[in-house]
Amino acid sequence: MPTDYMYLMKCSKGGNFTQGQLSPFGNIELSPAAGVLNYGQGLFEGIKATRNEDGHLLLFRPEQNAMRMKIGAERMCMPSPSVDQFVDAVKQIVLANRRWVPPFGKGSLYVRPMLLGSGPILGVAPSPEYTFLVYASPVGNYFKEGSAPLNLYVEDEYDRASRGGVGGVKTISNYAPVFKSLQKAKNRGFSDVIYLDSVKKRYIEEASACNIFTVKGNMISTPPLNGTILPGITRRSIIEIARDYGYQVEERPVSVEELMDADEVFCTGTAVVVASVGSITYQDKRVEFGPKAVCAELGSTLVGIQKGVIEDKKDWVVQID
């Protein structure tokens, strides 16, 4: 859904981003030879702005998104805005579109910062010009199931990422390749797909747009950040919250056999927040999971902090008005 304003800032190859500006939301002009169109030289981030009970506008750890974009930009041979520039642009776009931020408890304004190789380049090389663009749209639940547990399918044919590739950065080129598996799974009634490692096809990595956690007793496990998995900000936050509650948390390879034998499984991400998993199907074997106590405890704490209902002792939340 289009909102009122977007934010634009440009720089040349080898230069630095300077002052950007708001402009009415609308189409942008790109050369047919733009690097982002021909070679996929682009990154994006996702941040949610919400209201607290008093109606104030809140952001959750936006500086982490800024730093993740800088890391991705280095991998993709792109200049990037500074952390301060990034956060300031996000604040500006939320304030300019504040009438689109839903009331407390009714959804959020999803903010999409993008870094694009916008200059023309026919040869296989970095773009000569770059555009940092931020737009926003009000959103509700990511999955059509709403808050109902997800039904996931383990994909053992197609890979999402491989060692030495770009699976660990939020490049636009990571997303279209999952469409095939995701469409196939959704046609069979599944919510999303879990991908396996590209070498042994035995260890879980992540879903199409979220990280995966398993629970066994007091142990919470999630695949390690080895370059093929996106370092999710919600993932990082849930790990900290879980350790605060006394859970043992391990970042280690998790086999598909362990996944199917878990007490609970849940997903995390900016869009999904914390979503419980009701069932997983792998090679025609379906496992259903019972009570989702750990997921509910961690998820309610995170959402409470994000919405200003629970005291933010970690300085994660930024009030911008």
The phi-psi region of residue 212 (left if phi > 0; otherwise alpha if psi is between -120 and 50; otherwise beta) is: beta
Phi, psi for 148 (deg, rounded to 5): -70, 150
Q: How many residues does the chain have?
A: 321
- Of 58, 57, 56, the closest CA to residue 305 belongs to 58
The pTM assigned to this predicted structure is: 0.95
What residues pair up with 207 in beta bridges, in sequence order? 194
Q: In this predicted structure, what is the pLDDT of residue 140?
A: 84
Judging by beta carbons within 10 Å of its beta carbon (0-12, 13-18, 19+), is residue 245 exposed, middle or buried? middle
Amino acid at 126: P
* Sign of the Cα pseudo-torsion (192, 198, 203, 209, in order): negative
Pairing of strands 129-139, 108-117: antiparallel
Alpha-carbon span 250 to 265, nearest angstrom = 14
Residue ranges of the chain whose pLDDT lies below 70: 144-146
Assigned token pair, 292? 């989702």
Residue 22, beta-bridge partner list: 7
Q: Which two tokens stand for residue 36?
A: 């982002």
How buried is residue 186: exposed, middle or buried, by Cβ count under 10 Å (0-12/13-18/19+)? Answer: middle
- CA-closest candidate to residue 168, choices 220, 202, 205: 205
Query: Does the active-site annotation cover 106?
Result: no
pLDDT of residue 147: 72
Structural contact between residues 208 and 178, judged by C-beta atoms closer than 8 angstroms: yes
Q: What gap in Å lies between CA 195 and CA 159, rounded to an integer?
A: 6
The answer to whether the CB of 237 falls within 8 A of the CB of 302 is yes
- Active-site pick, 170, 184, 200, 201: 170
**Is the CB of residue 118 less than 8 Å from the CB of residue 130?**
yes
Task: Name the amino acid, one letter, at 255.
Answer: S
Q: Do 118 and 34 contact (CB within 8 A), yes or no?
A: yes
Question: What sign for the dihedral angle of Cα 286, 226, 303, 100?
Answer: negative
Distance CA 206, CA 313 (A): 29
pLDDT at 144: 66
Distance between CA atoms of residues 245 and 313, nearest Å: 14
Nearest to 41 by CA among 81, 80, 78: 78
